[in-house]
Amino acid sequence: MIILTGGAGFIGTNVLIGLNDIGKSDILIVDNINKTQKWQHLVGRSFYDYIHKNNFWKWMEACPRLEIEAIIHLGACSDTTEDDFDYFMENNVHYSQKIWEFCAERNIPLIYASSAATYGDGTRGFSDDHFQVSKLRPINAYGFSKQLFDLWVLKQKKTPPRWYGLKFFNVYGPYEDHKGRMASVVFHAFPQARDHGHIRLFKSHKPEYEDGEQKRDFIYVKDVVDVILFLLNGNATSGIYNVGTGQRRSFNDLAKAVFQAMELEVNIEYFNMPERLLSRYQYFTEAEIAKLRRAGYSNKFTELEDGVYEYIHFLSV
């Protein structure tokens, strides 16, 4: 059995699809669906059962002889504007620590989600070298919670047999509809272009960046799944890895790709960033992926225009 936390979420749903595609269906989904519509992501998928995250440990205690192939831990609070730090600690740190200890005790491989938000404003670089983790300075509570868990992991003497902490960069693609304001710019841009003929982007509040020229490492969710399956089924060295394309692209590039996919004229409008985001906003990200390449991952990442085209046609159906 594979345990997949956050399995009804954005990346989790795509991982579930990827596992099904390679013939795996003995999968326990752990999530917090509650009154959301995330249940729709599970329709038509093959999995063993769904367990609410608060009931997971009681369920595991009732199944002490269960053979677990791996745990893919993607469940977390990922809202970069959330201010309840205690909530982050409980969900992103303490819950993850318990999963780590469980995997270490039971000798179970673990893949967990870290985040590029740990890199803060980027002035300290984007290296996934373990010696750099303590030098990073996240600029929001979400990124700090992810860094705290990474730091805790690197201090542990008792570890799972194989473990991978994945720093996801700007992921976009199908099944992020439940994320609201935290969904990708592509998701929000599609209805704007369709219904109003324009796409709205944040103005730049730094003189070194023109409006819309803030740059991110945008990675298509199918590439993220491919990396996860590579690590799940291989023997790469345990550690923290960046999961990005290694290429920075501007939000203007992304918007133009949306217009191109929709066969519309480019029409971009810029508006002021909300004050609450001014000190938390990353103007630039670009993953260093040499470590992932050295681990043996050689597949080519999807070009932004190709990924946006495929995703826009998914949203159009």
Is residue 82 scored above 90 in pLDDT?
A: no
Which pLDDT score, from 0 to 100, does residue 251 have?
97
3-state secondary structure 23-75: CCCCEEEEECCCCCCHHHHHCCCCCCEEEEHHHHHHHHHCCCCCCCCEEEECC
Alpha carbons 255 and 266: distance in angstroms, whole number: 8
Nearest to 80 by CA among 308, 311, 274, 307: 274
Which pLDDT score, from 0 to 100, does residue 317 have?
85
Digit-coded pLDDT (tens) for 14-26:
999 999 999 999 9
Which pLDDT score, from 0 to 100, does residue 43 have?
97
Is residue 94 scored above 80 in pLDDT?
A: yes
Is residue 281 scored above 90 in pLDDT?
A: no
Which pLDDT score, from 0 to 100, does residue 83 have?
81
The angle that helices 10-21 and 221-233 make with each other, rounded to 10 degrees, is 60
Annotated active-site residue 241? The verdict is: no
Is residue 198 scored above 80 in pLDDT?
A: yes
What is the mean predicted confidence (pLDDT) over 288-310? 98
Asked if 7 and 13 count as a contact pair (C-beta separation under 8 A), the reply is: yes
Which pLDDT score, from 0 to 100, does residue 65 have?
82
* Residue 79 or residue 84, greater confidence: 84
3-state secondary structure the chain: CEEEECCCCHHHHHHHHHHHHCCCCCEEEEECCCCCCHHHHHCCCCCCEEEEHHHHHHHHHCCCCCCCCEEEECCCCCCCCCCCHHHHHHHHHHHHHHHHHHHHHHCCCEEEEEEHHHHCCCCCCCCCCHHHHHHCCCCCHHHHHHHHHHHHHHHCCCCCCCEEEEEECEEECCCCHHHHHHCCHHHHHHHHHHHHCCEEEECCCCCCCCCCCCEECEEEHHHHHHHHHHHHHCCCCCEEEEECCCCCEEHHHHHHHHHHHHCCCCCEEEECCCHHHCCCCCCECCCCCHHHHHCCCCCCCCCHHHHHHHHHHHHHC
Average pLDDT, the chain: 95
* Cα distance between the two ends of the chain: 33
Which pLDDT score, from 0 to 100, does residue 224 have?
98
Is residue 188 scored above 80 in pLDDT?
A: yes
What is the mean predicted confidence (pLDDT) over 39-59? 96
Which pLDDT score, from 0 to 100, does residue 62 have?
85
Percent of residues, the chain, with pLDDT higher than 90: 90
Percent of residues, the chain, with pLDDT higher than 70: 100
Q: Band of the pLDDT at 304, cuts 50, 70, 90?
A: very high
Dig out the tokens for 116 from the structure: 């590029």
Which pLDDT score, from 0 to 100, does residue 63 have?
81
What predicted TM-score, i.e. pTM, was given to this entire model?
0.95
83: Cβ–Cβ under 8 A, 6 or more apart, which residues? 141
Q: Give the count of beta carbons closer than 10 Å to the beta carbon of residue 85.
A: 12
Q: Active-site residue among 179, 203, 209, 309?
A: 179
Domains of the chain: 2-171+219-247+286-302 (3.40.50.720), 175-215+248-283+305-316 (3.90.25.10)
Alpha carbons 35 and 121: distance in angstroms, whole number: 35
In Å, how far are 188, 221, 296 from 288, measured between CA atoms?
A: 28, 18, 15
Alpha carbons 239 and 145: distance in angstroms, whole number: 18
Torsion angle in degrees (nearest 10) through CA of 249, 289, 153, 113: 50
Signed CA dihedral, 112, 113, 118, 123: sign only: positive
Digit-coded pLDDT (tens) for 118-177:
999 999 999 999 999 999 999 999 999 999 999 999 999 999 999 999 999 999 999 999
Annotated active-site residue 270? The verdict is: no
Q: Active-site residue among 119, 142, 172, 241?
A: 142
